[in-house]
Amino acid sequence: MSKNVVPKLEKLLDDELVINPSEQNLDAWMWTFDWYDLISFTSFVNLLDKHFFNKWLQTLCIWLNSSADPDEVSKWYIGWKSQFTEKLKQHPNIKSKFSQALMLMSKSADGIKVSYEPANAVDK
């Protein structure tokens, strides 16, 4: 699975999943989650950590810096978080990403321009 399926899921998230707060298509997201019980939990967390959250947090920053409605952003955040299983939400890496999003939202609410630089940007 890790040699054949995970790389395809990485490519799917990188190429097909477009994070768009105004018009979100969840097809690629749902296709990815179809594999949740079939690949290792650690592999799935790493997949999301590297191939979903970087894109998601960058989109959040762009949106926040464009004078987004805080209520809409909160609903978007809650909607995305609801897509995760409780087990995933409790994993330290995933929990950290959601905490980062809340921190960015808080800074933006204070009028501070926000940015996100993926930790593995050098690896790409």
Kindly tell me the sign of the dihedral angle through the C-alpha atoms of 11, 13, 18, 24. positive
**pLDDT on residue 67:** 82
Burial class (CB in 10 A: 0-12, 13-18, 19+), 57: buried
Whether pTM > 0.85 for this model: the answer is: yes
- State how far the Cα of 96 lies from the Cα of 48, in Å rounded to an integer: 12
- Mean pLDDT, range 40-58, rounded to an integer: 96
CB within 8 Å of 75: residues ≥ 6 apart: none
- State how far the Cα of 100 lies from the Cα of 86, in Å rounded to an integer: 18
Tell me: pLDDT of 82 over 90: yes
- The pLDDT > 70 percentage for the chain reads 94
Give me the residue label for tokens 């998601």: 56
Tell me: pLDDT of 121 over 60: no
Whose CA is closest to 17, among 39, 36, 33? 33
- Are the C-beta atoms of residues 72 and 60 closer than 8 Å to each other? no
- State how far the Cα of 107 lies from the Cα of 109, in Å rounded to an integer: 5
Tell me: pLDDT of 119 over 80: no
